[in-house]
Amino acid sequence: MAYPRFPSKERSLSKALSISLGWRVLWLSLALIAFPLILFSCLLVFYVAEIKREEVIIELGLIAQEQKMALDQKISYAKRFLRLAKIQAESTKDQKNLSRLYQEMTADYPEEILVLSQNVHELGWINIASSEPALEQMRPPCEELLMPQAEDQIFIQSCLWDNRNMILFSQLLGAECRISFLLPLQASTTTIGRLPLHDEQIRIRFLEQGIVLESSQPPFNPQETLVVPYEQIVKIMQGKMKLKIPRKVERIATQLPIDQTSYEMMVDFPLKIGPIHHHILSLLFWISSFLLVIGGGLVYWLTRKMARPLESLAMVMHQIENGRMDVRYNQQPMGFEFNQLGASLNQMLTKMFLIIQEREKQTIEKELLAKELAVGHEIQKNLFPRSLPALSNFDIAAQFHPANALAGDFYDFFLSKGKLLIVIADAAGKGISACLYSLLLRGMLRSLVESGHSLDTVVLLVQKLLLADAAESSMFITAWIGLLDIASLELSYASLGHFPALLRRGASILELSAEGGALGVETYKKFTINRFHLEAQDLLLLYTDGFVEAFHKDRNRIVDKLKILDADLSSAQVLEQMIPPPPYEDDLTLTAIRIA
């Protein structure tokens, strides 16, 4: 049987999200896909940025090494030029000829400058020959030329001339002459990764004893520049070391010693890595799209498949809530644990249905039993005499304490023609049948006594009638029946399968018993009618098996208790003293007759 999807009435998205587990799992799964994608993108960008930073550091080491080698070559080149220029200056004293020779020497290198300076007493140091015409007959291009130095020693110093960074090489030529060579320091355009670095981005500085010589612009800012020793850069290039770069650093630098001098060269450039390349972004976009579309579609299909068993189970429970007990859960594909839960629900419903049927059956039986008990109690109420005979010389009392079940106990006192019929009986079994059987016995006894029959005749006729009416019912009655002559106090009695009556006379307790079987079992072959003469102050006590069971089936305890009672007690008081407190396992019936 097919059922509509649950819930079947409201289809809004908010309702679906708040009710359907499938939708919630779907959105949760998509969120779990999107979150890793975003995290993956961030990690990828971070990873690429780290790679770019490492490339920058590696490129810094390469550039620094390149600049160092270039500078070493220039220093060797400058020293060679200086030696040639000195030889030319010593070979000729013609200043113009010397200037022409210097210009020829630097023709292929227009940036380098050769200068011959002389200390004139009136004018101080002036240029007397130069490869740069503008420097002829002028003061030296930088103050460093005026610094004292030893003969035959090449003096090397950084200087600034015409807003250009220079390395100055100078050597004395006699006591009053000095020959100098100015070598420009310029950074060539290079490339880091795929990002070009222009001349103004690369900064080359020189240090003397760890102090930066501010011969170039802009000035060195240690707050924004991270200086990494060249040895560490080599380890980073070899993969033996990782460098942690602070966030506020904008430039990175390294420094190397300049051979044959007391100076160090510092190379630095920006740490900006620029945007991530287009092919990386494209790859990231396609990977994300694939995961989102394919993964999302797969998650949607799986959640719909896995949610269908739950919807079916929810529909079954909804039908049960509406009172339908005949619905059952049908196994679903990909139901997994939900199919097991549905099978358990089906078993539970089957057991509940059987339990409900059994409860309904029990309810009907209880209602019938209640009606039967009501009828039985009404019959049992009619078994007992409505009032006890009022005789001047007799004190008669009786009590009946029913147990939970309906039984056939009864007692009777019937006065007819000067004789008192005394009966206490217990019909076998429980229920209405026992009550009806007792009622039948009561009617037959009264009828036969009223007809004037003797006790033995009464017993024989009753046995005959009961056997005729109840031979197939297996019912029987135990009874103690007595017939007392009111005038002579002569008592004739029969004990038919019943407990003997107890007679208290003074301090003695007598048992009034007689031979005879229960009524309704079989035709009597032999039974006994005994006779006993009662006297004043005698107390006769009659009881059923419920009274004996209340004393734990110990009749000696009953006898002992009867002995210790006060002789002046009335019959009613005797019963109050003899009856133990409830509860009782069986009906308890007790009668007492005291002779005045």
pLDDT tens digits for 323-374?
777 788 888 776 677 787 788 888 888 888 888 888 888 888 888 877 777 7
- Helices 230-237 & 21-91 angle (0-180, nearest 10): 130
φ, ψ of residue 240 to 5 degrees: the values are -95, -5
pTM for the full predicted model:
0.46
Quote helix, strand, coil % in the chain, to nearest 5. Answer: 40, 25, 35
pLDDT at 189 exceeding the cut of 70: no
The mean pLDDT value for 561-585 works out to 90
pLDDT > 70 fraction of the chain, expressed in percent and rounded: 81
pLDDT at 5 exceeding the cut of 70: no
How far is Cα 154 from Cα 79, in angstroms, rounded to an integer?
8
The mean pLDDT value for 424-436 works out to 82
Record the tokens describing residue 26, joined without a space: 């779907």
pLDDT at 383 exceeding the cut of 70: yes
Cα angle for residues 440, 445, 447 (degrees, 5° grid): 95
State the pLDDT at residue 395: 94
Record the tokens describing residue 571, joined without a space: 């019959």
Record the tokens describing residue 227, joined without a space: 């200086």
Q: Which of 99-113, 244-258, 275-289, 400-414 has the lowest mean pLDDT?
A: 275-289
State the pLDDT at residue 242: 79
Q: Residue 552 half-sphere exposure, CB side, CA atoms within 13 Å?
A: 2
State the pLDDT at residue 7: 41
- Strand order of the β-sheet with 394-401 is 394-401, 588-595, 539-543, 501-505, 508-512
Residue predicted with more confidence, 255 or 418:
418
CATH 3.60.40.10 applies to domain 384-595: yes
Q: Where do we find the tokens 């220029």?
A: 85
State the pLDDT at residue 458: 93
How would you classify residue 469: left for phi > 0, otherwise alpha for psi between -120 and 50, otherwise beta? alpha
Class of residue 448 by CB neighbours under 10 A (exposed 0-12, middle 13-18, buried 19+): buried
**Domain spans, the chain:** 40-69+200-270, 74-184, 321-382, 384-595
How far is Cα 203 from Cα 541, in angstroms, rounded to an integer?
135
Predicted confidence band of residue 290 (pLDDT cuts 50, 70, 90): confident
Long-range Cβ contacts of 445-450 (<8 Å, 24+ apart): 445/412, 445/414, 445/421, 445/481, 446/412, 446/414, 446/416, 446/421, 449/414, 449/416, 449/419, 449/421, 449/483, 450/416, 450/417
Sign of torsion over alpha carbons 118, 123, 129, 131: positive
Q: Which of 119-133, 504-518, 578-592 has the lowest mean pLDDT?
A: 119-133
| Most confident listed range (279-293, 403-417, 526-540) | 526-540
pLDDT at 197 exceeding the cut of 50: no
How would you classify residue 137: left for phi > 0, otherwise alpha for psi between -120 and 50, otherwise beta? left
Same fold, 74-184 and 384-595: no
How far is Cα 254 from Cα 235, in angstroms, rounded to an integer?
13
φ, ψ of residue 426 to 5 degrees: the values are -145, 110
The mean pLDDT value for 291-301 works out to 72
State the pLDDT at residue 102: 81
State the pLDDT at residue 17: 42
Predicted confidence band of residue 280 (pLDDT cuts 50, 70, 90): low
Residue predicted with more confidence, 193 or 544:
544
State the pLDDT at residue 194: 34
Residues 6+ apart with CB under 8 A from 76: none
What are the distances in angstroms from CA 277 to CA 46, 54, 281, 506?
A: 13, 16, 7, 129
Predicted confidence band of residue 25 (pLDDT cuts 50, 70, 90): low
How far is Cα 105 from Cα 194, in angstroms, rounded to an integer?
39
Record the tokens describing residue 110, joined without a space: 């227009």
- DSSP at 517: -
74-184 CATH fold = Beta-Lactamase (3.30.450)
Q: Which of 100-109, 119-128, 147-156, 402-411 has the lowest mean pLDDT?
A: 147-156
The mean pLDDT value for 97-114 works out to 81
State the pLDDT at residue 187: 44
Buried b (16+ CB within 10 A) or exposed e, 203-216: bbbbbeeeebbebb
State the pLDDT at residue 148: 66
pLDDT at 12 exceeding the cut of 60: no
Predicted confidence band of residue 4 (pLDDT cuts 50, 70, 90): very low
The mean pLDDT value for 166-184 works out to 80
Q: Which of 14-18, 462-466, 578-582 has the lowest mean pLDDT?
A: 14-18
Q: Residue 372 half-sphere exposure, CB side, CA atoms within 13 Å?
A: 16
| Most confident listed range (69-78, 373-382, 472-481, 564-573) | 564-573
Q: Residue 56 half-sphere exposure, CB side, CA atoms within 13 Å?
A: 26
State the pLDDT at residue 218: 63
